[in-house]
Amino acid sequence: EIQQNLITASHMIDMDDIVREGFSTLREVASDVTFPLSDEDILLGEKMLQFLHHSQDPVMSEKLGLRGGVGLAANQLGLLKKVIAVLIPNEPEFDEEDNEIAPKEAYKMREIMYNAKVISHSVQDAAVEGGEGCLSVDREVPGYVVRHARVTVEYINKDGEKKKIRLKDFPAICVQHEIDHTNGIMFYDHINMNDPWEIKDGMLVVK
């Protein structure tokens, strides 16, 4: 079973492990993982975060042929488990001579989230300026992906601690994209196909 070798300690997730449109798990609802977490579920989360690190690293992404990613859901690995990983880099700043200044924190968000769900959200909507893509979608689907501008997310971390966080801006968008995957929802389900770039009712456009 291809999904089994995913969680061997030495295996590094690559694009061959990521299922594409048409694969059943992208349209299925994943199951909550049970606590205490099994070693397998802990290793899976770590492998998913490792993939994101590799995908954002010039050397490793080249070596493994990875598309850069800031999030991943287990459904994309053919696994119906509510496990997501998020790794959102802070953009470097530049000084007056255009020298790159490393940000204080390398990452805006770095988390493995088990059984994540949105428990409340803003009335206001938001969409990423240029639209969204997906590592499981090998085509462009243009248009604003209309999401909640701000969300309160409950999840359990790898230490088994129950967490409740409030997110806005791009982190809110990213986590909604991943939680959607665990519920069989694709980003383009949120695009208004009659007017893909319509901005309505105070929708925020997020950079």
Ligand X SMILES: O=CN(O)C[C@@H](CC1CCCC1)C(=O)N1NCCC[C@H]1C(=O)Nc1ccccn1
| DSSP letter (8 states) at residue 44 | H
Interface with ligand X (CB under 6 A), residue from 178, 182, 186, 188: 178
Are the C-beta atoms of 23 and 78 separated by less than 8 Å? yes
| DSSP letter (8 states) at residue 26 | G
Of 94-153, binders to ligand X (CB under 6 A) are: 132-136
Residue 125 contact among ligand X, Ni ion, none, beta carbon within 5 to 8 Å by kind: none
Which residue lies nearer to ligand X by CB, 111 or 132? 132
Using a 10 angstrom Cβ sphere, with 0-12 exposed, 13-18 middle and 19 or more buried, the burial of residue 153 is buried
Interface with Ni ion (CB under 5 A), residue from 134, 145, 156, 174: 134
Q: Is 1 a catalytic residue?
A: no
Which of these ranges, 7-15, 69-77, 102-110, 152-160, lies near ligand X under the rule CB under 6 A?
A: 69-77
Residue 167 contact among ligand X, Ni ion, none, beta carbon within 5 to 8 Å by kind: none
Verify binding: residue 66, ligand X, rule CB under 6 A: no
Q: How far is the CB of 178 from ligand X (least distance, A)?
A: 5
Q: In what order do the strands lie in the sheet with 151-156?
A: 71-73, 83-89, 107-121, 151-156, 162-167
Out of 96, 97, 178, 198, which one is annotated catalytic?
Answer: 178
Q: Is 71 helix (H, G, I), strand (E, B) or coil?
A: strand
Q: Which residues are within 8 A (CB) of 147 and not within 5 positions of it... i.e. 6 or more apart?
A: 125, 126, 127, 172, 173, 176, 177, 190
Q: Is 183 helix (H, G, I), strand (E, B) or coil?
A: coil
Verify binding: residue 73, ligand X, rule CB under 6 A: yes
Q: Is 73 helix (H, G, I), strand (E, B) or coil?
A: strand
Q: How far is the CB of 102 from Ni ion (least distance, A)?
A: 28
Binding site for ligand X (CB under 6 A): 67-73, 76, 132-136, 173-174, 177-178, 181
